[in-house]
Structure 1
């Protein structure tokens, strides 16, 4: 492999730096810029309309400049240990990719990356508006400006982000609710650990009023995937998303996503035990994209395939 031309890299960075002050609307979305610079398609990706989302990439060695993006990008590494270099103008950061570290590229920043080996990484794309919303809902006046991080030790954030690659279940309602909860939780963690003035977010105590909890549960039980969103649930309760999630868990012992997953498991068990419906039709009735996705989710929670569980329970 030829040695990277650092002179050309510096000239490129100098040209790119002139665009760093462009309004966010004039920068590339994170998913678009990552596809360009990595030269491949993501292994898996789920985005909200705002561009917030989570992507799992497996890509080849990288020697290129990441140009300014309209979202913060937070990465958790999932692979064998390797050294890497990140260059911003005259500043050079050398780090070690390994599980338990995070990379943070603040919105609008640009840097040259030299990574000599293939990479398996999960990325969070986070709008600045989401960070500000979480800070406002949590009642903290701390800075929402994220720090640039290069292979920075943070096993909590790394573990949370890597969990996203394992919990996409092929069920639109469950996946959307999980992603929304996880993005809010990661934003809370980033405010607490990766800003210029880390904030202390006060715990919220107290559950939902009984009637409010009942309405939230009815929404979660509904057949319409459009009803299963944190925004809709929180609005119905008259709370922010931040406060709703904590109040719901205080009331039920489960997050909204975990409650819905448990509810769907109980539905699946009832249908397997009490009806002759095929596994394919049960998967479709519960909103799974395929029998395979349903079987994988069922096995993850019970340790058995749906057909094996049905035989044992009859």
Structure 2
């Protein structure tokens, strides 16, 4: 086991089922259980919130009870972090055990195809990313990085960058569908880049991209982002229209505008909201729905984050 965890040999666990073998799983990816299904089996509950994307995998927020079970080999990599509190983790494979602490600022990684037994003694909250290997390979190619080696197993491993990215994903599981999808796509690419740099056998170093988008390509991208059709604002559609990979499109767009595509769209939607609040008598609920937010609460939270005021308070002040 690699990482900063305490390692022990031949731990004693009387009365528990045998430890999983340390031998690699030889089943094909198609024969392994999907990560969300295996997590539901092991955690014996459903996620509080979850969102998936065919190109990028899935993000789930769980609250689960104490756990004493074997996690069987999964088709995708699982990367997780912990929103709050402090909780002991024990992960055992073969004759090796890793003991660490779940807390904000650390990550745990279960590589695709690996199996281990887990002991968690108290209820806990966890955010999980289910990352397909094809996404990791795509990012390595787009970033001109060396092909990734196998992901390293991590148990409560300090990595504040990855932890913050995953926790921000949990905050974006409710809200505007178009914004959330674009954010998750960007987030997954960022996380895959981070994993290549910090959590593979030989770290892959992405090459820098210099320069922004040409004026005509930037104009087309902004036209797509302003479109009322959510399908037009997927990261794949934006990058394809620009003739770039998703990785390079995001970097070039931010170089041109100072904002990521997701941040630009969020700001644009809230500017639309300001115009509607100021110039119409539409209810806040109707404005939230018109802008693609799933609930008035999600819209109000996003609006307040930008302006420091609720939509109703802002409307009363500017009229």
Pairwise CA distance, 1:77: 1.4
For CA contacts below 8 A with separation 6 or more, give which structure has more relative contact order: 2
In the other structure, the counterpart of 1:9 is 18
Please point out which of 168, 190, 204 is paired with 1:163: 168
Pairwise CA distance, 1:5: 4.4
Pairwise CA distance, 1:268: 0.2
Tell me if structure 2 keeps the 8 A contact 1:132–1:144: no
In the other structure, the counterpart of 2:7 is none
Tell me the secondary structure at the aligned position of residue 113 of structure 1: strand
Pairwise CA distance, 1:7: 5.2
Q: Structure 1 unaligned segments of length 5 or more: list them.
A: none
In the other structure, the counterpart of 1:134 is 139
Pairwise CA distance, 1:91: 1.3
Tell me the secondary structure at the aligned position of residue 165 of structure 1: helix
Correspondence 1:225 to 2:234: no
Tell me the secondary structure at the aligned position of residue 53 of structure 1: strand
Tell me the secondary structure at the aligned position of residue 9 of structure 1: coil
1-structure distance, mates of 2:56, 2:42: 18
- What is the count of residue pairs matched by the alignment? 308
2-structure distance, mates of 1:247, 1:180: 16
State the Cα RMSD in Å.
1.6
Tell me if structure 1 keeps the 8 A contact 2:56–2:135: no
In the other structure, the counterpart of 1:111 is 116
What TM-score do you get using the length of structure 1 for normalisation? Answer: 0.94
Please point out which of 187, 192, 209 is paired with 1:187: 192
In the other structure, the counterpart of 1:210 is 215
Please point out which of 47, 58, 61 is paired with 1:56: 61
Pairwise CA distance, 1:89: 1.3
Q: Structure 2 unaligned segments of length 5 or more: list them.
A: 1-11
Pairwise CA distance, 1:202: 1.8
In the other structure, the counterpart of 2:287 is 282
1-structure distance, mates of 2:66, 2:140: 36
Please point out which of 147, 154, 158 is paired with 2:152: 147
Please point out which of 28, 38, 41 is paired with 2:43: 38
Tell me the secondary structure at the aligned position of residue 275 of structure 2: helix
C-alpha change, 1:22 and 1:50, in structure 2 (3 Å) is farther
Task: After superposition, give the CA deviation of every residue in 1:122-175 in whole Å (9 maximum; x if it has no partner).
Answer: 111100000000000011124242101111111111111111112334211000
C-alpha change, 1:6 and 1:128, in structure 2 (3 Å) is farther
What TM-score do you get using the length of structure 2 for normalisation? Answer: 0.93
Correspondence 1:259 to 2:268: no
Pairwise CA distance, 1:19: 8.5
Tell me if structure 2 keeps the 8 A contact 1:142–1:197: no
